[in-house]
Every structure is written in C-alpha cells, then in structure tokens.
Amino acid sequence: MLDGKVAIITGAGRGIGAAAARLFALEGAAVIVSDLDAEQAEETAGAIRAQGGNAAVAVVVGDVTDPAFPAQLIKATLDTFNSLDIIVNNAGYTWDGVIQNMSDKQWSAMLDVHLTAPFRILREASHYIRDAAKKEQAAFGQAKARKVINVSSVTGVYGNAGQVNYAAGKAGITGVTKTLAKEWGRYNVQVNCVCYGFIDTRLTAAKEQGGITERHGEQIALGVPEQMRQMAPLLIPLGRPGTPEEAAGPMLFLASSLSNYVSGHVLEVTGGRVG
C-alpha cells in the first residue's frame, strides 16, 4: 500500500511509533525512524530490517523540541531518500499534575513536544512539499498525494483530570490539523489526526513499569496508577486496551491512497469509548 513512499515517523523507538514504522515498512515505505533515544531507534530499524523485503530504513536521532532539529530531520530525509511523502508527528510523553501543583515548566514542556514540535517540523517540510507540488502540477496537471498524520489523544478532546498541560497540547494539534488541511489542500496534501484512547504503551503502563524519562533536568515518572489501569477496561466497550499494532492500523489507512479524499479529519481510536 505504500510502495515508493518515504515516511518520517517521530517517536518511532517505542510503542505506537515503532509499530507504525514496522507496518509502513512492511507495506513498502522507506522509513525514517526518528527518536530521542538512539538505542531504541536502532532497535526499531533492526526490527524493520529483520522483517525482510525491500523496505529501506534510516535513523535520525534527536529531540523534536530542539528548534534546530526540524531542519536536520527534513534534510536527512531528503539526502537519504530524495523524497518525502508522509509525516507522522507521534513523539511525546506525559508529565501529569493537577493544576494547583503544576509548574510553568510542566505546562510548557507538554506544549513544546505535542504542539510546537509538530508545527516546526511541518513548517520546515513545507518548503519541499510546496515546491515539489508546484513542479508536479506544472508537469502532470496535479500533484501526487502526500500525507500528514498528527497524533493526538482523547484527552485533547474530552479532557482528563491531572493532565491539563497534555490536554492543551493535544487539543492544539487538532487545530493545527484542521487549519493545515485547508492551507495544503491546494498541494494535494491530506492532513489528518488520530486521537487515541487507552493503548498499551509505557505511557499507560503501571507506574512501577512505565519507567523514567529525563527531560528538562528532571526525572519524570511515566505510567498511570494501577487503580486507573484496572478501571480502564471497564469503561471500554471492547473490554481491553488497544495494542500498538492496532493503533498503527488507522495510520496506515491515513498514509495510503485509500484516504486520498479524507482531510481535516479527527479519528478517535478508542475501542468504542466516547468521552
């Protein structure tokens, strides 16, 4: 479904991003695996190579919140594969707290990674996308379809206690999605957003299993309280969390030609839970 396509996936070292990278590669895409953690990024790239087939893969390590990183990412993609067809803005993490206990650093960190970083990557990519589309329009009458998939969360749609910063960032990226769908329609770019519910990753693991990420000079514990994990399946009509592989499936649809007339859409992937 993605033969001949070149895809960037941020946060592809683990979880949903890694599952999407493997799936895209299986479907024929050349994949740029981007992650802050070099070891995890290489692990994903190794898994793609081990799948066999002809899919190409390259690793670009860096922090999406670094203002210099978008230029590095887009340049590395074009230098390696000489094209860019799909961008998946997936990188992110959580840093929870009720509002009275939340610092400015916590607030800004979530906006930086979930909203500002995708904006900068898309702004940097716009130079290539616009130029390529104009050349294709002049030569063939229409630009080829390109795809942007922004990853959000139902927290950004419905809110979640203890996550006002995360909710703000994830709500913001849906606004970016709808706006860019209008701006880039003329270039035949479909821009969509996937809002995930409870997917089994280290962000939704039990606190003792979620691990620690070091950001902004702080050690941030990932995961959710065990009581919340036990309650979650009771609120999901399908009765269980989703897997990263199940989360990657809708991304494949939005990255493929099957979605060539779908743009500006926010797709909730929740196992049936609403709200």
**Domain count for the chain:** 1
213, part of any domain: no
What is the spatial distance between Cα 2 and Cα 253, in angstroms, rounded to a whole number? 10
Instruction: Say if residues 92 and 201 touch (Cβ distance below 8 Å).
Output: no
Q: How confident is the model at residue 209 (pLDDT cuts 50, 70, 90)?
A: low
* Catalytic entry in 93, 166, 187, 196: 166
Residue 223, pLDDT above cutoff 70: no
92, part of any domain: yes
Structure-block tokens of residue 168: 């703000």
pLDDT (tens digit per residue) in 10-23: 999 999 999 999 99
What is the spatial distance between Cα 31 and Cα 58, in angstroms, rounded to a whole number? 6
Instruction: Say if residues 163 and 96 touch (Cβ distance below 8 Å).
Output: yes
Structure-block tokens of residue 77: 């993609």
What is the spatial distance between Cα 45 and Cα 32, in angstroms, rounded to a whole number? 9
Residue 166 annotated as catalytic:
yes
What pTM, to 2 d.p., does this model score? 0.92
Instruction: List Cβ neighbours of 230 (8 Å cut-off, separation of 6 or more).
Output: none
Query: Which residues, in sequence order, are bridge partners of residue 196?
Result: 153, 269
Mean per-residue pLDDT of the chain: 93
235, part of any domain: no
- Report the side by side order of strands in the sheet with 266-269: 57-61, 30-35, 6-10, 86-89, 146-153, 189-196, 266-269
For residues 123-142, average pLDDT? 98
The domain containing residue 134 runs over which residues? 6-202+243-269
What is the spatial distance between Cα 173 and Cα 195, in angstroms, rounded to a whole number? 10
Query: Which residues, in sequence order, are bridge partners of residue 30?
Result: 6
224, part of any domain: no
Amino acid at 109: A
Residue 88, pLDDT above cutoff 80: yes
148, part of any domain: yes
What is the CATH classification number for the domain harbouring 136? 3.40.50.720
Distances from the Cα of 204 to the Cαs of 59, 94, 166, 245, in angstroms? 26, 10, 14, 15
Residue 210, pLDDT above cutoff 60: no
More confident of the two residues 225 and 104: 104
pLDDT (tens digit per residue) in 231-248: 778 889 999 999 999 999
120, part of any domain: yes
Instruction: Say if residues 195 and 153 touch (Cβ distance below 8 Å).
Output: yes
218, part of any domain: no
User: For residue 192, what pLDDT is reported?
Assistant: 98
Distances from the Cα of 263 to the Cαs of 170, 247, 259, in angstroms? 18, 19, 8
Query: Which residues, in sequence order, are bridge partners of residue 215?
Result: 218
For residues 27-51, average pLDDT? 96
Q: Which residue carries 């001949």 as its tokens? A: 4
89, part of any domain: yes
User: For residue 104, what pLDDT is reported?
Assistant: 97
Residue 209 CB neighbours (<10 A): 11
